[in-house]
Amino acid sequence: MKTPHNPFKAALKAGQQQYGFWLGLCSPLSAELLGHTGYDWLLIDGEHAPNNIPSILSQLQALGSTDTHAVVRLVDDNPSTIKQALDIGAQSLLIPMVETAEQAKALVSAVSYPPAGTRGVGTALARAASWNIRTDYFEAVQREFCLLIQIESATAVQNLDEILAVDGIDGVFIGPADLAASLGHLNNPGHADVVKTIADSIDKIRAAGLAAGTLATNKTVARERARQGVQFIALGVDTLALAQSAKSILSTFHDQNDVSSDSGNGAY
Protein backbone atom coordinates (compact mmCIF):
# COMPACT_ATOMS: atom_id res chain seq x y z
CA MET A 1 0.00 0.00 0.00
CA LYS A 2 1.39 3.38 -1.07
CA THR A 3 0.91 6.86 0.43
CA PRO A 4 -1.74 8.76 -1.59
CA HIS A 5 -0.56 11.35 -4.10
CA ASN A 6 -1.52 14.96 -3.30
CA PRO A 7 -3.01 16.31 -6.57
CA PHE A 8 -3.73 19.71 -5.02
CA LYS A 9 -0.07 20.31 -4.13
CA ALA A 10 1.05 19.06 -7.54
CA ALA A 11 -1.38 21.40 -9.29
CA LEU A 12 -0.17 24.41 -7.30
CA LYS A 13 3.43 23.58 -8.13
CA ALA A 14 2.49 23.30 -11.82
CA GLY A 15 0.83 26.71 -11.73
CA GLN A 16 -2.64 25.31 -12.35
CA GLN A 17 -5.82 27.02 -11.15
CA GLN A 18 -7.63 25.24 -8.32
CA TYR A 19 -11.19 26.20 -7.36
CA GLY A 20 -12.60 25.28 -3.98
CA PHE A 21 -15.59 25.48 -1.66
CA TRP A 22 -15.85 25.99 2.10
CA LEU A 23 -17.29 23.34 4.43
CA GLY A 24 -18.81 24.68 7.66
CA LEU A 25 -21.73 22.31 8.25
CA CYS A 26 -19.49 19.74 9.97
CA SER A 27 -21.30 16.91 8.21
CA PRO A 28 -19.62 13.99 6.43
CA LEU A 29 -22.77 13.55 4.34
CA SER A 30 -22.79 17.12 3.01
CA ALA A 31 -19.01 16.98 2.56
CA GLU A 32 -19.32 13.83 0.48
CA LEU A 33 -22.17 15.35 -1.53
CA LEU A 34 -20.11 18.44 -2.33
CA GLY A 35 -17.13 16.24 -3.10
CA HIS A 36 -19.02 14.98 -6.14
CA THR A 37 -19.83 18.45 -7.53
CA GLY A 38 -16.56 19.03 -9.36
CA TYR A 39 -14.52 21.32 -7.13
CA ASP A 40 -10.76 20.77 -7.04
CA TRP A 41 -10.64 21.18 -3.25
CA LEU A 42 -12.92 21.53 -0.26
CA LEU A 43 -11.92 23.32 2.93
CA ILE A 44 -12.91 21.62 6.19
CA ASP A 45 -13.05 24.57 8.56
CA GLY A 46 -11.87 23.95 12.10
CA GLU A 47 -11.42 27.63 12.98
CA HIS A 48 -14.88 29.22 12.79
CA ALA A 49 -17.04 26.13 12.24
CA PRO A 50 -17.66 23.89 15.28
CA ASN A 51 -15.37 21.10 14.05
CA ASN A 52 -13.02 19.01 16.17
CA ILE A 53 -10.61 16.17 15.39
CA PRO A 54 -13.32 13.44 15.26
CA SER A 55 -15.60 15.50 12.99
CA ILE A 56 -12.69 16.44 10.73
CA LEU A 57 -11.79 12.74 10.54
CA SER A 58 -15.31 11.79 9.48
CA GLN A 59 -15.25 14.36 6.68
CA LEU A 60 -11.82 13.23 5.49
CA GLN A 61 -13.18 9.70 5.31
CA ALA A 62 -16.25 10.87 3.41
CA LEU A 63 -14.20 12.84 0.89
CA GLY A 64 -11.96 9.84 0.36
CA SER A 65 -14.64 8.40 -1.92
CA THR A 66 -14.62 11.50 -4.16
CA ASP A 67 -12.19 13.12 -6.56
CA THR A 68 -11.99 16.34 -4.51
CA HIS A 69 -8.98 17.09 -2.33
CA ALA A 70 -9.54 17.96 1.32
CA VAL A 71 -7.79 20.96 2.85
CA VAL A 72 -8.12 21.29 6.63
CA ARG A 73 -8.06 24.65 8.38
CA LEU A 74 -7.24 24.27 12.07
CA VAL A 75 -8.28 26.60 14.85
CA ASP A 76 -4.73 27.87 15.42
CA ASP A 77 -1.05 26.89 15.17
CA ASN A 78 -0.98 24.59 18.20
CA PRO A 79 1.57 21.82 17.44
CA SER A 80 -0.48 19.22 19.31
CA THR A 81 -3.57 19.87 17.17
CA ILE A 82 -1.42 19.89 14.04
CA LYS A 83 0.01 16.49 15.01
CA GLN A 84 -3.47 15.03 15.48
CA ALA A 85 -4.71 16.44 12.15
CA LEU A 86 -1.73 14.97 10.32
CA ASP A 87 -2.11 11.60 12.00
CA ILE A 88 -5.78 11.31 10.99
CA GLY A 89 -4.75 11.82 7.37
CA ALA A 90 -4.86 15.52 6.49
CA GLN A 91 -2.41 16.02 3.60
CA SER A 92 -3.00 19.76 3.25
CA LEU A 93 -3.30 22.14 6.20
CA LEU A 94 -4.27 25.81 6.28
CA ILE A 95 -3.11 27.56 9.44
CA PRO A 96 -4.81 30.88 10.26
CA MET A 97 -3.40 34.09 11.68
CA VAL A 98 0.27 33.66 10.76
CA GLU A 99 1.96 36.98 11.45
CA THR A 100 5.72 36.45 11.68
CA ALA A 101 8.53 34.49 10.09
CA GLU A 102 9.22 32.87 13.46
CA GLN A 103 5.66 31.55 13.57
CA ALA A 104 5.99 30.25 10.01
CA LYS A 105 9.24 28.47 10.87
CA ALA A 106 7.60 26.87 13.89
CA LEU A 107 4.81 25.60 11.65
CA VAL A 108 7.25 24.03 9.20
CA SER A 109 8.91 22.31 12.14
CA ALA A 110 5.58 21.11 13.56
CA VAL A 111 4.60 19.37 10.30
CA SER A 112 8.00 17.75 9.75
CA TYR A 113 9.44 14.62 11.35
CA PRO A 114 12.92 14.79 12.95
CA PRO A 115 15.60 15.62 12.16
CA ALA A 116 13.98 18.30 9.96
CA GLY A 117 11.28 19.11 12.50
CA THR A 118 9.57 18.24 15.76
CA ARG A 119 6.52 16.20 14.75
CA GLY A 120 6.00 13.23 17.02
CA VAL A 121 6.17 9.72 15.58
CA GLY A 122 3.16 7.52 16.30
CA THR A 123 2.41 5.74 13.06
CA ALA A 124 1.07 2.59 14.68
CA LEU A 125 -1.91 4.71 15.77
CA ALA A 126 -2.07 6.94 12.68
CA ARG A 127 -4.63 6.65 9.90
CA ALA A 128 -2.24 8.67 7.71
CA ALA A 129 0.21 5.76 7.76
CA SER A 130 -2.57 3.15 7.56
CA TRP A 131 -1.40 2.05 11.00
CA ASN A 132 2.06 1.07 9.67
CA ILE A 133 0.60 -0.84 6.72
CA ARG A 134 1.86 1.74 4.19
CA THR A 135 5.28 0.67 2.93
CA ASP A 136 6.53 4.11 1.82
CA TYR A 137 5.03 6.42 4.43
CA PHE A 138 8.19 8.05 5.80
CA GLU A 139 9.65 8.31 2.31
CA ALA A 140 6.55 10.00 0.85
CA VAL A 141 4.88 11.90 3.69
CA GLN A 142 6.77 15.20 3.36
CA ARG A 143 6.77 15.08 -0.42
CA GLU A 144 2.97 14.84 -0.49
CA PHE A 145 2.21 17.25 2.36
CA CYS A 146 1.04 20.79 1.56
CA LEU A 147 1.44 23.61 4.09
CA LEU A 148 -0.69 26.70 3.54
CA ILE A 149 -0.46 29.69 5.84
CA GLN A 150 -3.06 32.42 6.21
CA ILE A 151 -2.17 36.10 6.40
CA GLU A 152 -5.02 38.27 7.61
CA SER A 153 -3.66 41.18 9.62
CA ALA A 154 -1.74 44.40 9.19
CA THR A 155 1.13 42.81 11.14
CA ALA A 156 1.29 39.88 8.73
CA VAL A 157 1.36 42.25 5.76
CA GLN A 158 4.20 44.22 7.34
CA ASN A 159 6.16 41.00 7.86
CA LEU A 160 5.23 39.37 4.57
CA ASP A 161 8.68 39.54 2.96
CA GLU A 162 10.25 37.72 5.91
CA ILE A 163 7.40 35.18 6.05
CA LEU A 164 7.77 34.39 2.35
CA ALA A 165 11.47 33.68 2.83
CA VAL A 166 10.71 30.72 5.11
CA ASP A 167 11.41 27.41 3.37
CA GLY A 168 8.73 24.74 3.54
CA ILE A 169 5.62 26.79 2.78
CA ASP A 170 3.61 25.82 -0.30
CA GLY A 171 1.03 28.59 -0.41
CA VAL A 172 -0.24 31.74 1.26
CA PHE A 173 -3.95 32.32 1.74
CA ILE A 174 -5.14 35.91 2.12
CA GLY A 175 -8.09 36.23 4.52
CA PRO A 176 -10.02 39.26 3.25
CA ALA A 177 -12.49 39.66 6.12
CA ASP A 178 -9.99 39.70 8.99
CA LEU A 179 -7.50 41.70 6.94
CA ALA A 180 -10.13 44.36 6.29
CA ALA A 181 -10.94 44.51 10.01
CA SER A 182 -7.26 44.75 10.93
CA LEU A 183 -6.81 47.63 8.51
CA GLY A 184 -9.71 49.50 10.13
CA HIS A 185 -12.42 48.55 7.63
CA LEU A 186 -14.54 45.97 9.44
CA ASN A 187 -17.08 44.29 7.12
CA ASN A 188 -15.75 46.23 4.14
CA PRO A 189 -13.20 44.09 2.26
CA GLY A 190 -14.01 46.12 -0.85
CA HIS A 191 -12.45 49.27 0.63
CA ALA A 192 -9.73 50.72 -1.59
CA ASP A 193 -7.06 50.29 1.11
CA VAL A 194 -7.91 46.61 1.49
CA VAL A 195 -8.08 45.99 -2.25
CA LYS A 196 -4.64 47.56 -2.76
CA THR A 197 -3.14 45.63 0.16
CA ILE A 198 -4.46 42.36 -1.24
CA ALA A 199 -3.16 43.12 -4.74
CA ASP A 200 0.29 44.05 -3.40
CA SER A 201 0.38 40.90 -1.27
CA ILE A 202 -0.57 38.71 -4.24
CA ASP A 203 2.30 40.19 -6.24
CA LYS A 204 4.76 39.48 -3.44
CA ILE A 205 3.54 35.90 -2.95
CA ARG A 206 3.83 35.15 -6.65
CA ALA A 207 7.26 36.78 -6.88
CA ALA A 208 8.42 34.48 -4.08
CA GLY A 209 7.38 31.47 -6.16
CA LEU A 210 4.51 30.47 -3.90
CA ALA A 211 0.83 29.91 -4.66
CA ALA A 212 -1.60 32.61 -3.55
CA GLY A 213 -5.09 31.79 -2.35
CA THR A 214 -8.21 33.51 -1.06
CA LEU A 215 -11.97 33.26 -0.53
CA ALA A 216 -14.12 35.20 -3.01
CA THR A 217 -17.85 34.47 -2.98
CA ASN A 218 -18.53 37.38 -5.35
CA LYS A 219 -18.08 36.23 -8.96
CA THR A 220 -16.62 39.54 -10.11
CA VAL A 221 -14.09 39.56 -7.29
CA ALA A 222 -13.23 35.91 -7.91
CA ARG A 223 -12.53 36.57 -11.59
CA GLU A 224 -10.40 39.57 -10.69
CA ARG A 225 -8.39 37.50 -8.20
CA ALA A 226 -7.84 34.82 -10.84
CA ARG A 227 -6.69 37.51 -13.27
CA GLN A 228 -4.25 38.75 -10.63
CA GLY A 229 -2.74 35.29 -10.43
CA VAL A 230 -4.43 33.81 -7.36
CA GLN A 231 -4.16 30.06 -7.86
CA PHE A 232 -6.49 28.57 -5.29
CA ILE A 233 -9.79 30.38 -4.81
CA ALA A 234 -12.75 29.29 -2.70
CA LEU A 235 -15.88 30.34 -4.57
CA GLY A 236 -18.50 29.64 -1.93
CA VAL A 237 -19.45 28.44 1.54
CA ASP A 238 -21.86 25.58 2.23
CA THR A 239 -23.77 27.44 4.95
CA LEU A 240 -24.27 30.49 2.73
CA ALA A 241 -25.24 28.37 -0.27
CA LEU A 242 -27.81 26.44 1.75
CA ALA A 243 -29.34 29.58 3.27
CA GLN A 244 -29.43 31.44 -0.04
CA SER A 245 -30.94 28.49 -1.89
CA ALA A 246 -33.61 27.92 0.77
CA LYS A 247 -34.54 31.62 0.82
CA SER A 248 -34.67 31.73 -2.98
CA ILE A 249 -36.99 28.71 -3.15
CA LEU A 250 -39.35 30.25 -0.59
CA SER A 251 -39.28 33.65 -2.28
CA THR A 252 -39.98 32.11 -5.68
CA PHE A 253 -42.90 30.15 -4.25
CA HIS A 254 -44.42 33.26 -2.66
CA ASP A 255 -44.00 35.26 -5.88
CA GLN A 256 -45.67 32.56 -7.96
CA ASN A 257 -48.41 32.13 -5.38
CA ASP A 258 -49.14 35.88 -5.42
CA VAL A 259 -49.44 35.86 -9.20
CA SER A 260 -51.72 32.82 -9.07
CA SER A 261 -53.92 34.44 -6.41
CA ASP A 262 -54.22 37.72 -8.28
CA SER A 263 -55.16 36.19 -11.61
CA GLY A 264 -56.83 32.98 -10.48
CA ASN A 265 -60.40 34.17 -9.78
CA GLY A 266 -62.64 33.12 -12.64
CA ALA A 267 -59.83 31.32 -14.44
CA TYR A 268 -61.88 28.16 -14.65
Query: Beta-carbon neighbour count of residue 103 at 10 Å?
Result: 17
Q: Where are the alpha helices (DSSP H) in 88-233?
A: 101-110, 137-144, 154-158, 160-164, 176-182, 192-207, 219-228
Q: Please choose, from the candidates 77, 26, 32, the residue with its C-alpha nearest in 3D space to the C-alpha of residue 53.
A: 26
Beta carbons of 241 and 30 less than 8 angstroms apart: no
**Catalytic choice (48, 69, 185, 254):** 48
- Those residues with Cβ within 8 angstroms of residue 47's Cβ, 6 or more apart along the chain or in another chain: 73, 74, 75, 76, 96
Give the C-alpha separation, 181 to 176, whole Å.
9
Stretch (H or E) spanning 69 = strand 69-73
Give the C-alpha separation, 158 to 260, whole Å.
59
Active site residue 191: no
42-64 in b/e form (b: 16+ CB < 10 A) is: bbbbbbebebeeebbbbbbbbbe
Q: Please choose, from the candidates 53, 180, 197, 186, the residue with its C-alpha nearest in 3D space to the C-alpha of residue 128.
A: 53
Amino acid letter, 107: L
DSSP classification of residue 124: G
Active site positions, annotated: 48
